[in-house]
Amino acid sequence: MPRPFSKIAPDWWDYTTLDAELLQDAAKLTAETIQQLARPGFAIRFYDTLEEFYLAEALEYINAWKQATADNPVGICGPIGPTEQLPLVARLVNDLGLSLKHAHFWGMDEWYMDGKEVPEDHPLSFARADKELCFDRIRPELAMPPEHLHFPAADTSKYEASWSGVRCAVMQGGQGEVKHWAFNDPVRREGAYKDAPPSPAEYRKLGTRVVELHPLTLIQNARTSGGGNIPLVPTHALTVGPAQTWQAEKISIWHPGHHDNPFGMRLSTLMIAKGIADSSVPMSLLAEHPNVQFNFYRGGLGTCETEMH
């Protein structure tokens, strides 16, 4: 039986093309049943306050960077969503006196316009946000060497090469409404993918690249970063690929509750727990990574009950 067309954008693959029974099962999950979905290789953590949630996220940076030495450089790959942890990271580095001389950082993604990555003076620049919220706040004597800060660029070769010889202890991420990490969005429903999306094995081969963004991603980024001004949001972006993601020792996804919705958080959790990998839900491919952790702010989990507003 052919898969249904997307209810969001019929020319694209996305989670609305999945089996209806799977979607219904996801909607039924409660906080208690979500916690029961943990399995070897897939940890699930709940936090009762936002303060604890973002502190735990910030501490992943500190615990990774503390391992870095001259002959064992260690880094973390971090998201722009969420960003609330970034000032906490800078404060912890400064207060602990933690030297970042041998530490590394990879930005997950960047906007792409006119054949190149957007400059740091662009209002939505991810590199600028990382620097302003975190790295520019670190005391100079503790600061990470500029050459250890890696951001995706139109010429992806330098960024991809930076993953060699440096151990990525953890890759953090948020989850977008199209169920992506970084900007690993579903693909258009055309050509070789007219009848089925890329297989998990095919999608996992993708490296750092330029991607065309699913319409839902454009809407979400306009909502969260531009006051709903969709024309402000570029239609393409650079993103860290699954090929780099699988070089990270641990994948840590943070769900504060205002990036994806209650249904989406439940769906990706269920699919990873059950080993259901489908590239129409890119986050579900993490079912095949050996060390994944989902982190939830309990107050942001919400419900999927029908409620009129």
C-alpha 234/C-alpha 13 separation (Å) is 20
Q: Three-class SS of residue 237?
A: strand
From the list 260, 289, 248, 247, the residue with the least C-alpha distance to 272 is 289
Tokens of 154: 């139109």
Residue 11 included in any domain: no
Say how far apart CA 282 and CA 165 lie, in whole Å.
Answer: 27
The structure's pTM equals 0.95
Q: In this structure, is residue 7 part of a structural domain?
A: no
Sequence-distant (≥ 6) Cβ neighbours of residue 200 within 8 angstroms:
277, 278, 279, 285, 288
Domain that holds residue 111: 40-300
CB 181 within 8 A of CB 268: no
Positions in the chain whose pLDDT score sits under 70: 309
Partnered with residue 100 across adjacent β-strands are none
21: tokens are: 């029974």
Does residue 306 form part of some domain?
A: no
Q: What does the pLDDT read at residue 233?
A: 84
What's phi and psi for 154, nearest 5 deg?
-55, -40
For residue 87, tell me if it sits in a domain.
yes
- Peptide bond connecting 87 to the previous residue in cis, omega within 30 degrees of 0: no
Residue 30, in any domain of the structure: no
Give the model's pLDDT for residue 228.
82
Domain count, the chain: 1
Q: Which residues, in sequence order, are bridge partners of residue 173?
A: 253
User: CA 2, CA 162: separation in Å to the nearest integer?
Assistant: 42
In a domain, 13, yes or no: no
Residue 237 lies in a domain: yes
207-238 pLDDT, tens digit per residue, is 999 999 999 999 998 887 778 888 888 999 99
Residue 271 is part of a domain; what is its CATH number? 3.40.50.1360
pLDDT given for residue 309 in this prediction: 67
Q: In the beta sheet, which residues pair with residue 151?
A: none
In the numeric block, which tokens belong to residue 89?
């990271």
